[in-house]
Structure 1
């Protein structure tokens, strides 16, 4: 049994698919962040994980030893899984599999950028982010390509198969 029954009868969350999808999009996203950061700054990508940890620990994350990058990586994957689970919950309810998976992926990537930069980051110990259009476009593009589109394609495939099997 790879599915968990939710409160509604005959409504399932595909645990195995979500587990693999979250791992995939979390890995793609962090890989893109590492490559972009290294090319743009030439600095050690460990700073990315310390930055993520600083959302909870503040400036302490940069001097907290080897534990902080590990916690940053864990936080990163928790967030990736949260967005994956949310997408798997809303996808069938909105009958999105009837629409273009790429457009849905683009919209979800933009939604993730908005949620992270307008809600999550400002409420964290990081605080406000600096708004630079080129940075916003790059960050949103990474989220679209590395999270939004892959999740949309995975959900479309999963729920399309499920619809065929239930007929």
Structure 2
């Protein structure tokens, strides 16, 4: 009587092993971490927001407007800040602005910063065509400020309701130019920092 031949090794199932040997533990892939953590994403979102053109225009306008009006408060003393702001509002209200109290001064303040933001938009849009404006803010800013001074005194003020003024003395002309140089410098420097030197 012949014994049955043993099965070939290849026919044995791969997972056939003695019961005494434990099954090898299954390897599970470790969960992948997001390359960008939540704080990193938030920081990136803030950076993207701060580098956007609308935000850059707004902050550059506020910086330039603040530099200009604070300089005016100093160089036009003993006139009070309220009177200086009323003179800005006189572009809308004429001579009545100087009798308008704090309301007229508030109108002048809002108008001043609105004009500053408009010029900041012009600067940033121009920098899109000429990136050197953002790369060289210490040069472009003062030049832009002087151009703004010319535009305001040659076009904007004469077309407004502001009372007619006498021709400025050499000293007042120099002080006015200084205020606008600081305006342009603060505006251009802020825009350059916000946009990373490129528009």
Same fold (TM over 0.5): yes
Q: CA deviation at 1:66?
A: 2.3
Residue in 2 aligned with 1:100? 136
Cα-Cα RMSD = 2.3
**1:94–1:45 distance in 2 versus 1, CA, 3 Å:** same
TM-score by length of 2: 0.67
User: 1:83-127 deviations in whole A, cap 9, x for unaligned?
Assistant: 111101101212324763222112101101001000001111125
Residue in 1 aligned with 2:84? 48
Q: Does 1:58 align with 2:94?
A: yes
Residue in 1 aligned with 2:176? 139
Q: Does 1:18 align with 2:57?
A: yes
Residue in 2 aligned with 1:7? none
- The worse-fitting range, judged by mean Cα deviation, of 154-163 and 68-77 is 154-163
Is this contact kept in 2: 1:50–1:62, CA < 8 A?
yes
Is this contact kept in 2: 1:50–1:61, CA < 8 A?
yes
User: 1:28-76 deviations in whole A, cap 9, x for unaligned?
Assistant: 21111111122xxx23221101101111110110112321011011111
TM-score by length of 1: 0.79
Q: Distance in 2 between matches of 1:120 and 1:46?
A: 21
In structure 1, list runs of 5 or more residues that go unmatched: 4-11
Is this contact kept in 2: 1:121–1:127, CA < 8 A?
no
Higher relative contact order (CA 8 A, sep 6+): 2
**1:97–1:53 distance in 2 versus 1, CA, 3 Å:** closer
Is this contact kept in 1: 2:192–2:198, CA < 8 A?
no
Residue in 1 aligned with 2:69? 30
| DSSP-derived class of the 1:131 partner | coil
Query: Which has the larger helix fraction?
Result: 1
Q: How many correspondences in the alignment?
A: 151
Q: CA deviation at 1:138?
A: 1.2
| DSSP-derived class of the 1:25 partner | helix
